[in-house]
Amino acid sequence: MPSGRQIKKDEKAKHNKKDAFHEFENKTSDAWDDGDDDLIQMANLKLSLKDVHTSAKVVLDNHSKKANSLQKQQLEDNAASNNKGLNSPQSYNSNHHHPHHYHGGPGLGVRLNSGGYQPPKMTSIRYVTNTAPDREATKIDKFKALFAEPSLDLSDLRQLCWSGIPKAVRPTAWKILSGYLPTAADRRQETLERKRKEYFGYIDQYYETRYQDLHEETFRQILKDIPRMTTLAHLFQEKAVQEIFERILYIWAIRHPASGYVQGINDLVTPFFVVFLSEYIENDIEVENCDLTELPQSTRDLIEADSFWCMSKLLDGIQDNYTFAQPGIQMKVNALRELIKRIDAPLFHHLERQGVEFLQFSFRWMNNLLMREIPLRCTIRLWDTYQSEINGFADFHLYVCAAFLKRFSEDALREQDFQGILMLLQNLPTLHWKDKEISELLAEAYKLKYMFADAPRHLLLKS
């Protein structure tokens, strides 16, 4: 039986852990963006399902502090690095020797908190010309041949898409992979027309109810969250684009009363919207600022309806992430913890010694499918593979998160205190990531999946 002194010592250790977390919270906001670090507060709650409703209330009711001077200083430092050339060897951390890791720019979380954001000058829309680089031409031909088959074999399409989809054929591939378009070629056009009409029927039926007492709070939350996406790409500052997202999210919430609208769902529309927009324009919306009102209203309507249906299909597969209290995400965070314990014991024990809870950094990874951790172009490439995997957004995502954390293991081990570790893990240096880094991440996740796919019991939540 432990002595009174030992009990006091244990209580003091627990108290110090809490103090470390609260001290960190006071010094820096969760590097998501204004209003979203309420999620991090769940880290102070036990992960048993008994506490799920309490934790959900914390998540949904609390709103965050502003990003502070520490993050602004990081932005200034990284801006200075930009001027020196981020890809030069001098811009790497002097203590860092891993060739895959960049220290020339912060993760997306910090960039979202940029105070003095100024969009670039407006550029005109450039319409798609249907010309592809020679190196992609052969792969595009394979896709087109597959699309033309009377009854497409989904397993063939998944195999072709897993390693990345050329931009020219990505919109069609995503619509088929998500289950929005049928595999039968002769039914696709009819399906598109019917589903688009159905979506705008919902707009006519439901959208005017958004200010009714029953739905006003839902719509208010949507209106609050959409501006938070604006620094993901300049396009999302435009009123016309924000109104598209408002309609999509509100109609989805009305039609899914079990979960309703939950913070984070707004981001999941973005990749679909950008990919379906790329069917019509060539502009790189990550770096260009183009006026979408230049596109005909009829074209914008098609993009809106297709984005709604594909997002709906995606959420059908991960809806337990967004039902009240979000138990699905909490289970996945626990599964990630167990997986890291097995594949990277030194990192696991380092996090444990410093009192860093997995929920404090990986809730966001699960809630937003890593969208806040990597550039938009990388998210789109990642989703090529997620849609190629059976239950990719639910099951394979876990292995991608494990590979993602493991990739920065050396960096985390070099951080010797709670604050240093959490700042790193919430602001991972992914600014310059491209397809190469995503391909490496996916290859590692694929290995993990097949190491553990036959022994999944250890990943179940122990309640």
Q: Which helix (H) or strand (E) holds 254?
A: helix 239-255
pLDDT at 62: 38
CB atoms within 10 A of CB 348: 19
Helix (H, G, I), strand (E, B) or coil at 407: helix
Please, what is the Cα angle at 226 between 225 and 230, to 5 degrees?
120
- The CA-atom distances, in angstroms, between 362 and each of 3, 265, 369, 370, 447 are 37, 16, 10, 9, 21
pLDDT at 98: 38
pLDDT one digit per residue (tens) for the chain, 463 residues: 555 555 555 555 555 555 555 554 444 443 334 344 444 443 343 344 444 344 434 433 433 333 334 444 444 444 444 443 333 322 333 333 333 333 434 444 444 444 444 556 777 888 887 665 667 888 999 999 999 999 999 999 999 999 999 999 999 999 999 999 999 999 999 999 999 999 999 999 999 999 999 999 999 999 998 887 755 567 888 899 999 999 999 999 999 887 788 888 888 999 999 999 999 999 888 878 888 999 999 999 999 999 999 999 999 888 776 665 667 788 899 999 999 999 999 999 999 999 999 999 999 898 889 998 999 999 999 999 999 999 899 899 999 999 999 999 999 999 999 999 999 999 999 989 999 999 999 999 999 999 887 554 544 443 3
* Beta carbons within 8 Å of 290's beta carbon, 6+ residues apart: 122, 123, 124, 125, 235, 281, 283
Residue 103 to residue 429: CA distance in whole angstroms: 6
CB atoms within 10 A of CB 73: 10
pLDDT at 189: 96
Structure tokens at 335: 């599964």
Structure tokens at 399: 């292995």
Residue 58 to residue 363: CA distance in whole angstroms: 14
Residue 145 exposed, middle or buried by CB count within 10 Å (0-12, 13-18, 19+): exposed
- The CA-atom distances, in angstroms, between 433 and each of 86, 104, 381, 436 are 12, 11, 11, 8
Q: End-to-end CA distance of the chain, in Å?
A: 26
One DSSP character per residue, 311-361 reads HHHHHHHSGGGTSTT-HHHHHHHHHHHHHHHHH-HHHHHHHHHTT--HHHH
Locus of tokens 């990003």? 67
pLDDT at 406: 97
Residue 432 to residue 226: CA distance in whole angstroms: 25
Backbone phi, psi, residue 151, to 5°: -135, 100
Residue 101 exposure: Cα atoms within 13 Å on the Cβ side: 19
Structure tokens at 16: 């110090």
- Alpha helical stretches, state H, 121-228: 134-148, 154-161, 170-177, 188-206, 213-225
